[in-house]
Amino acid sequence: MAAGETSRAFMIGVTGGSGSGKTTLARALHARLGEAKCQLVTEDNYYFARGHYGEAALSMSHAELERTFDFDDPANKDMAHLKRDIEALRRGETIEQPVYEFAKHDRKPNAFKSVESRPVVIVEGIHVLSDRAFFPLFDLTVFVDAPGDLRLIRRIRRDEAERGRSAESVIQQYLRFVRPAQTRFIDPARHYCDIVVACEAAPPDRDGPPDADSVDRLMAPVWVQLQKMGVV
């Protein structure tokens, strides 16, 4: 942080492939820092509404949407809006964040969530560091790395439990869109991030939380860096 900028938020960008453990890391950091000091923002709320894809998309089933549109391409998120919101949070301002409902594959109509800036703001998502123009917005950037098989298993379990998808639909989407997007849009960021952390813990049971010791190991190098930077 430059001299004279003590009033602005300390910004942390957390990225990695789908199922890598980036959300687990971001939530763990948020919990340890505490609500009063830290705000957590997820990139997933910036997917476009169905209407963005044309009238035909409004009546498509989930399966049709997932076969037709590549939701792992940053072109299908309003990244310009996300960038403006990150800049505002960095300045210490409150934003009105869109609300995306994965069960409906659509934004909640006319719904926004007021998100206040805090001394520390964490922004997590698969594309938040895909564009090099986003790097200067953050004081610390973290790439969470995990083997492809673990990422796929985690994605299947998450999407079945939280997004109402079948295992087969998740696998088909993974092979067609997710895996190529990992190479094209996500992996390059690992060469530019300040920290690369490995998340190789076995996926938790379907209804169980992540293993506490694994989460602590995941968070440790980031916490050490925050201590060195005087944030904690």
- Domains detected in the chain: 10-226 (3.40.50.300)
Beta strands in the chain, from DSSP E residues, in sequence order = 10-16, 38-42, 95-101, 106-115, 120-124, 140-145, 195-198
Predicted confidence at residue 6, as pLDDT, reads: 47
Measured CA to CA in angstroms, residue 166 lies from 62, 160, 199, 209 at distances of: 11, 6, 25, 21
Mention every residue, 6+ apart, whose C-beta is less than 8 A from residue 42.
Answer: 23, 26, 123, 124, 125
Predicted confidence at residue 184, as pLDDT, reads: 93
Could you tell me the mean pLDDT of each successive run of 10 residues in the chain, 232 residues long? 63 93 94 97 95 92 84 93 98 96 88 96 97 97 89 81 79 86 93 92 60 88 97 94
Predicted confidence at residue 3, as pLDDT, reads: 43
Predicted confidence at residue 63, as pLDDT, reads: 78
Predicted confidence at residue 231, as pLDDT, reads: 96
Predicted confidence at residue 209, as pLDDT, reads: 64
